[in-house]
Structure 1
Amino acid sequence: MKKPVAAERFELGVCYYPEHWPESMWADDYRRMVETGFTVVRLGEFAWSIFEPEEGEFQYDLFDRAIDLAHSHGLKVILGTPTATPPAWLTEQYPEALNVTYEGVTLQHGMRRHYNYSSPKYRELCARIVTKLAEHYASHPGVVGWQIDNELNCEINVFYSESDHLTFRSWLQDRYVTLDKLNEAWGTVFWNQTYTRWSQVCLTRPTPSPNQPNPHQALDEKRFISDNTISFAKIQADILREKAPDQWVTTNGLFGHLDSHELTEDHLDFFSYDSYPQFSTISADPAEVNPMLDRGWGLSLSAVRSVSSNFCVMEQQSGPGGWVNRMDMPSPKPGQMRLWTYQSIAHGADMLLYFRWRTATMGNEIYWHGLNDYHNQPNRRVKEAEQIGQELAQIGPAFIGSRTQASIAILRDYDNEWDGEYDVWHGPFMWQSNKEWFKALQRKHIPNDVLYMRSNTTLAELARYEVLVYPHPAIMSDDTAALLDQYVQQGGKLIFGCRTGYKDTRGQCYMRPFPGAAQEMCGVTVEEFTMVKGTRLPTSIRWNHDPEALTGADAFNDILHVEEDSVEIMGTYATDHYAGKPAVTRNIRGKGEVWYYGAVFNEAAVLQIIGSLGLVSPAADWAELPAGVELQIRATGGDTSTGVTFLLNYSEEPAQIVLKESKTDLLSGQTLSGSYTMEGFGVLVLQ
């Protein structure tokens, strides 16, 4: 039975590093945390050499005192297992635990995450330190839960030590059994890559043309890394379950080459995330039209929600962020930290900890600012946190445990994400189309989920949604296609983009007309296709229901041919030698419909589809909202009328809204109706 994120109240807290500060400061820090409204702190995730200063020598005094003191102040403690940073004695004595780059360079002690998951010795030493900590703190009344490691696969998510090559080989033997089946799956007959002994098989390695391995081998490598990461986490989770059964287990992440769904489903009580919305602002594409900036971070939070419908934000941005040489994020403006907190909550967080209590004075993160500055004097961020603490203590019970509501989901899957890292003929398209759909839905105030297609996905999971958008699933099995067809036949609306369905699960192309496994559903074939690049100039799509409307046909063009009478042409290409040819189609199938959009989605095209589908905001009957205000609804049992509505203004300027029905703002206690002005970066929580 999985333990909930929060049971009685919203848990608000902060990350704290007692080992960084004189012990004389601890009591004052804890006192002020409680005054701020915090109920929980995270400790210990980078403290292995404090718990075990030399191999086999364990000591707990420092953290015993820190945890006892936190508990005496009424604070709950989350303990991190310290395996993200193996100590110097370990890497000196057991260098086989270190990670190795693709080029064969051994990564040395001096940063973090410098280990590999495959080393038997490292796994043994990790199991020992986790066992010791679990045995020591299992009965401590102040310790409520554990964070495994820290940000699995962050910093680096590829591994090429000798242990990794050996473990990969064993993983392949379990998967394929024989070399004949491996050779078939990897297509090794191409370029004479055929293997005749298992000893010849390794992870991808440098090639004459840099970073161009066999693509099928590269896909299996990522699957292996995910499985291997999960098996590493499982060692710790199993120990914690056995030794500390009354405390919950989580980890923080959403990083590459890791199936976070499988990890959480099999080994965690719930998933945790580290939320830094300013990453969206410093990495924005200058060529992007109408960017969402920090509001776009909601798409990442939607992906987290697909792992855990209710989750913990283990690190929430509370100040300017950056290491000494990168990630130079600006400081949140007054009100933005509060806005981002409610952004996380609106998307499903039931526990949230700010990173960090006080900015570090040493190390790579001296510019990754926390609530308190170096000087430890009052500042506006602490004051803002106090306001949030007061609010959540009051209103948290109104929504904890409830789920974010949506009638449309954007579909993803790990195989296409991992294959698409290498394959430029479909990989980059998924991220653009996800973003453009999210932008259009957000500005129409239509909440969406992200849903990962997995081997155990059921029709019931799909049928929760009126519309599913699967932008560019190049890899699609016949089983997945059959499940999606069931969804359509019972009344669902399914939307594909270009490059759909033409690869099998090995990453090899079907010898079928495109869109391959999806062809029967779509009722069309792809007559011709092209990248929009070089001499191939961009074209547009003319929409049949609105002939004056022209939207860009971005990045790639599938020229479609109608195969079934049930297919309606929704849009045609406006220029080039395929002018007038079908670009967008809709196939009526059973009680539902399947759309095929022959390009990479942009916001204007998505708005055309939204209009044709008749999608409207769940608040359309009772609110008029400007495009700059986000709407999210959390409710229990799917009844949005009894839920809590979050309205978030991402602009620094005031926003005018109109409420056609009276609503109570839980934050202020006021009853609102008619015209209302939200302040810049303002938040309303309506019931």
Structure 2
Amino acid sequence: MANPDHEGDVGPQVAQREQRLSGLPQQVLYGVAYYAEYQPYDRLERDLDLMAAAELTVIRVGESVWSTWEPEDGRFELEWLHPVLDGAHARGIKVILGTPTYAMPPWLVRKYPEVTAERKTGVRIPYGHRQDGDYSNAAFRHYADRITRKVAGRYAPHPAVIGFQVDNEPGMELFHNRAAFQGFVDRLRHTYDDDPQRLNREWGLVYWSHRIARWDELWPPDGNTVPSYDLAWRRYQSQLTTDFIAAQAEIVRELARPDQFVTTCMALKRPAFDPRELNRSLDIAAVNPYYPMQDALTMPEPPPDAPQLEWETHSGVWAIHYQADLARAALRQPFLVTETNALSIGASHGNFPAFDGQWRQAAWALVARGARMIEYWHWHSIHYGHEQFWLGVLNHDGEPGRAYAEVQRIAAEFKQAGAAVVGLEPTADVALLYSRESKWAMEFHPPLATAAGAADRSSYERIFSRFYEGLFTAGVQTEILFAQDFDGTEHPVLIVPGLYVADDALLDRLAAYAHDGGHLVLSFRGGYADHEARPRTTKQPGRLFEAVGATYDEYTNLTAPVRCSGDFTGAATAWADALQPTTAETLAYYEHPHLGRWPAITTHEHGKGRVTYVGTLPDRELAVGLARWLRPNPDVFADRPKTVTVTSGRAPEGGLVRFVANWSWEQARLALPVAMTDVLNGTDLAFGEELHLGAWDVRVLLERPRKKDDEEGRPLA
């Protein structure tokens, strides 16, 4: 297997990042987003006193109120935040200062209506929401740069400020504005050597008479039906977001102290950004993971009537870990959680506050995956505006309640744990390769259908997350890698779900990984299309068919699950490749009078390694069985109850920290496979001792150093 060093960027940039992150304390930062300006009456001192009493250590401020910072064009009011920062500093609470560019003031839209983003060409987004500015527009950039410079310049010297968040959840819109489209055309001219005929050839514009003779004949994206066009458009939109955030970060760095970091927060569902590219110019990645609570967090599987989030397709304990792992993958470094569930989240008709213990479980789950900070959105429930019932740690009465008590408990535990859990590197048995470009391509041409038979635009996430969920449920820990950085990995197993878009070089690197000794796992649609989203002209699965040891020349969608037999139990869902093994052996068959002639899963020795091909979307049972078969190391907690998860991470200073959680109303017990120390109470636990877990409980355990000849000291994953 290849052994590249893709630990984010290297050299001087890494050293600069480390210096800018040096202001972070050696304790998990824990706090809230706080907006004193939103309060219906002055309660700053009481709020800060309550935060201090709960031992909160950080607040995020300022990012939502451009019209407060600049009520009119060129008239700035910057002093209103000063009492908040002074009060926080007096209580030892750190501050992350947000810049307000994601919510435009009315005067900017009135004077320069062209700054409003268009979701369709010529059709502006009506004013009244947020994230409706076209940040590729020169006028918008001028005013955004100006307010960022004013805010950062005013408060960078303040001792409470440890870092800056530029903008907020960028990438919400695909800009159809004329200037954005002309920028897209200019990019195409550069990419295709200013030759329209080359574009015609690469995109196949002979089809339906779409050939262009001049660049000004390229049509706007609204009615586009060309897959290569759409992929180029999505890449361009992502680059607009990356460029905007990078420019904002550069402005802040001109004004910030050397020990102040710059980040932005990601909402991973946003359509117009790539997490890896977005964070290249930033010091630390940050994410806003939200998840349904109550019965949705039941293990091993939530009940059918568990709460759901209307904007989120993922649900379950695994989904918390998945969002965290994607955030860590952005820089392959520890990350920040800038927002997550407080009392209740979502619309006024979706009130599902956590059961006792669930906030604590989620907080420790995020820390286990490398979070250096956890902040709730938000401190106080808002009395005005759209998000009145996205409830904070305090409800609308502003008084401490059950959520406050739980937060106070978690804060005390973070303080007790100290540096032992800061910046953990999660252990990983296997790696998963994530392709944002395949996600975009599958949104344009979804391979899967919804239950109602419509195109499922979330097909890529559905495929990828099924493999992740199977691994998580089987107790197999993962690291997510982004496809654009892949040049091999030391992980003995690499799973590549739904890699529809890939250039020849990437596929060759995947084949080489297996040939050199790795176990490569591919799913259906893997290697199907090239870098222009064009189906390959070779046998499928494309350039990898020899490594797979099987081909196919047809496939079918499935309208009902089909049971599988062989080495695994479970069912095929949604899709079936008609695999024809050449040199591969079969692991699972379809139990079906027509499909039964073809295998569902094959495996093939390739060089020193192996390639396994999954020709269907496994149901949960099949995905878990496959994950257990793929696991390269024995599961030392194999006898744990099905309601219990065990994740682990290595501390920078050494030591393996285990997070053992019981996601159930029922109490759970399990025997410890090695001696450990309870990080939160200092109790020593012997090898074989029974660990007791209450309902919705979590324990944080540190493995003691062991001698090589100690019979309890066998190596653990």
> Do the two structures share a fold, i.e. TM-score over 0.5?
yes
* Contact 2:318–2:472, Cα closer than 8 Å, also in 1: no
Q: Counterparts of 2:652 and 2:47 in 1: how far apart (Å)?
A: 40
2:63 alignment partner in structure 1: 45
* Residues 521-564 of structure 1: CA deviation (Å, up to 9, x unaligned): 2122114322224xxx6543321xx4xx5532222211222233
Distance of 2:234 and 2:315 partners within structure 1 = 30
1:575 aligns to what SS in structure 2?
coil
Q: CA contact under 8 A between 2:174 and 2:237: conserved in structure 1? A: yes
Q: Residues of 1 paired with 2:628 and 2:169: CA distance?
A: 40
> Which residue is equivalent to 2:360?
338
**Which of these residues, 160, 173, 182, is aligned with residue 157 of structure 1?**
173
TM-fit CA distance, 1:279: 7.6
2:215: which partner in 1?
Answer: 198
2:327 to 296, 304, 310: 304
Matched, 1:268 2:292: no
Structure 2 CA distance, aligned partners of 1:118 and 1:28? Answer: 42
For the 8 Å contact 2:555–2:576, the answer to whether it is kept is yes
Please give the alpha-carbon distance, in whole angstroms, between the structure 1 residues aligned to 2:340 and 2:548: 43
Pairing partner for 1:629 from 644, 647, 661:
644
- Contact 2:27–2:418 (CA<8 Å) still a contact in 1? yes
After TM superposition, the structure 1 = structure 2 runs for residues 603-682 of structure 1, keeping only pairs within 5 Å, are: 603-613=620-630, 615-616=632-633, 618-620=635-637, 624-636=639-651, 642-673=655-686, 674-682=689-697
| Deviation at residue 637 of structure 1 after TM alignment | 6.9
Indicate conservation of the 8 Å contact 2:636/2:673, yes or no: no
Aligned-partner SS, 1:196: coil
**Paired residue for 1:686, among 677, 701, 709?**
701
Change in CA separation of 1:103 and 1:96 when aligned onto 2, cut-off 3 Å: closer
1:416 and 1:202 mapped to 2: Cα distance?
Answer: 24
1:557 and 2:576 matched: yes
Partner residue of 1:529 out of 555, 560, 574: 555
For 1:371, what is the secondary structure of its paired residue?
coil
2:246 maps to 234
Alpha-carbon distance in structure 2 between the residues aligned to 1:376 and 1:538: 50
Distance in 2 separating the partners of 1:366 and 1:306: 33
Distance across 2 between alignment mates of 1:119 and 1:32: 43
TM-superposed CA distance for 1:401, in Å, is: 2.2
- In the aligned structure 2, how far is the partner of 1:589 from the partner of 1:287? 45
Does residue 278 (structure 1) correspond to residue 292 (structure 2)? The answer is: yes
* Corresponding residue number in structure 1 for 2:533: 507
Q: Quick one: structure 1 residues 607 and 51, their matched pair in 2 at CA, closer, same or farther if it must change by over 3 Å?
A: closer
1:146 aligns with 2:172: no
Q: Distance in 2 between matches of 1:27 and 1:437?
A: 49
- Whether contact under 8 Å (1:252, 1:272) holds in the other structure is yes
Asked if 1:132 corresponds to 2:150, the answer is yes
* 2:423 is equivalent to residue 401 of structure 1: yes
Cα offset, 1:113, TM superposition = 0.9
User: Which one is further off, 141-150 or 665-674?
Assistant: 665-674
| 2:190 is aligned with 1:174 | yes
Q: CA deviation at 1:664?
A: 1.4
1:648-681, Cα deviation, whole Å (9 max, x unpaired): 2221322222213332111222223422320111
Check whether the contact 2:295–2:303 (CA below 8 A) recurs between aligned residues.
no
Q: Which residue number in structure 1 is paired with residue 471 of structure 2?
A: 441
Q: Output the CA distance in 2 between the equivalents of 1:202 and 1:238.
A: 34
Aligned residues of 1:215 and 1:422 also touching (Cα < 8 A): yes
SS in 2 for 1:357: coil
Change (3 A) 1:42 1:576: same
Matched, 1:430 2:453: no
Q: What amino acid maps onto 2:551 in structure 1?
A: T
Structure 1 Cα separation of the partners of residues 161 and 435 of structure 2: 36
> Is 1:222–2:252 an aligned residue pair?
no
SS in 2 for 1:554: strand
AA aligned opposite 2:243: S
Q: What's the RMSD between the two structures over aligned residues?
A: 2.4
Closer, same or farther: CA 135–504 of 1 in aligned 2, 3 Å: same
SS at match of 2:124: coil
What is the CA-CA distance between 1:245 and the residue it aligns to? Answer: 4.2
Which is further off, 114-123 or 62-71? 62-71
* Rounded Cα–Cα distance in structure 2 between residues aligned with 1:101 and 1:140: 40
Aligned to 2:602: 585
Equivalent residue for 1:421? 443
| 1:380 corresponding residue in structure 2 | 402
Amino acid at match of 1:314: T
* Counterpart amino acid of residue 648 in structure 1: A
| 1:262 aligned partner, one-letter code | E
CA-CA distance at 1:312 after TM superposition: 0.5
Contact residue 14 and residue 40 of structure 1 kept, 8 A = yes
Shift of 1:519: 1.2
Code of the aligned partner of 1:554: T
In 2, the alpha carbon distance for the partners of 1:310 and 1:618 equals: 25
The 3 A distance-change label for structure 1 pair 4 and 430 is same
8 Å CA contact 1:433–1:602 kept in 2: the answer is no
TM-score (norm. length: structure 1): 0.91
| Aligned equivalent of 2:711 | none
TM superposition shift of 1:323: 3.6
Q: Is the 8 A contact 1:568 1:585 kept in 2?
A: yes
Task: State the aligned residue count.
Answer: 658
Secondary structure at the aligned position of 1:171 is classed as helix
Change (3 A) 1:420 1:634: same
The residue that corresponds to 1:485 in the other structure is 511
Runs of 4+ in 1 over 3 A off after TM superposition: 3-7, 279-288, 426-430, 537-540, 610-620, 636-639
Q: Secondary structure at the match of 1:583?
A: strand
- Pairwise CA distance, 1:643: 1.1
Asked if the contact 1:445–1:631 (Cα under 8 Å) also holds between the matched residues in 2, the reply is: yes
For the structure 1 residues 577 and 421, does the alpha-carbon distance in structure 2 shift closer, same or farther, using more than 3 Å as the test?
same
Q: Which of 116, 120, 133 is the aligned partner of 1:98? A: 116
SS in 2 for 1:588: strand
SS of structure 1 residue aligned to 2:460: helix
2:393 matched to 1:371?
yes
Separation in structure 1 between the aligned mates of residue 597 and residue 42 of structure 2, nearest angstrom = 76
Code of the residue aligned with 1:663 in structure 2: it is M
106 and 457 in structure 1: CA distance in 2 versus 1, 3 angstrom threshold: same
- Cα distance in 2, alignment partners of residues 617 and 627 from structure 1: 17
Equivalent residue number for residue 78 of structure 2: 60
The amino acid of 1:273's aligned partner reads V
Q: Which segment drifts farther, 98-107 or 223-232?
A: 98-107
**Could you tell which deviates more after superposition, 387-396 or 96-105?**
96-105
Q: Compute the displacement of 1:163 (Å).
A: 2.1
CA spacing shift, 1:561–1:351, aligned 2, 3 Å: same
Q: 1:162 to 1:279 in 2, by over 3 A?
A: farther
CA separation of 1:653 and 1:285: change in aligned 2, threshold 3 A = closer
Q: Distance in 2 between matches of 1:385 and 1:47?
A: 27
What stretches of structure 2 of length at least 5 have no aligned partner? 1-15, 307-313, 449-456, 703-717
Aligned to 2:601, what secondary structure does the other structure show?
strand
Q: Deviation string for 1:37-56 (max 9, x for gaps)?
A: 11111100012112111111
Taking a change above 3 Å as real, the CA distance of residues 57 and 558 of structure 1, as seen in their structure-2 partners, is: same
Cα distance in 1, alignment partners of residues 683 and 444 from structure 2: 53
In 2: Cα distance, 1:234 partner to 1:509 partner: 34
Quick one: structure 1 residues 636 and 490, their matched pair in 2 at CA, closer, same or farther if it must change by over 3 Å?
farther
Residues 277 and 340 in structure 1, CA contact (< 8 A), matched pair in contact too: no
The DSSP-based 3-state class of the residue aligned with 2:119 is coil
Say which of 178, 198, 203 aligns to 1:186. 203
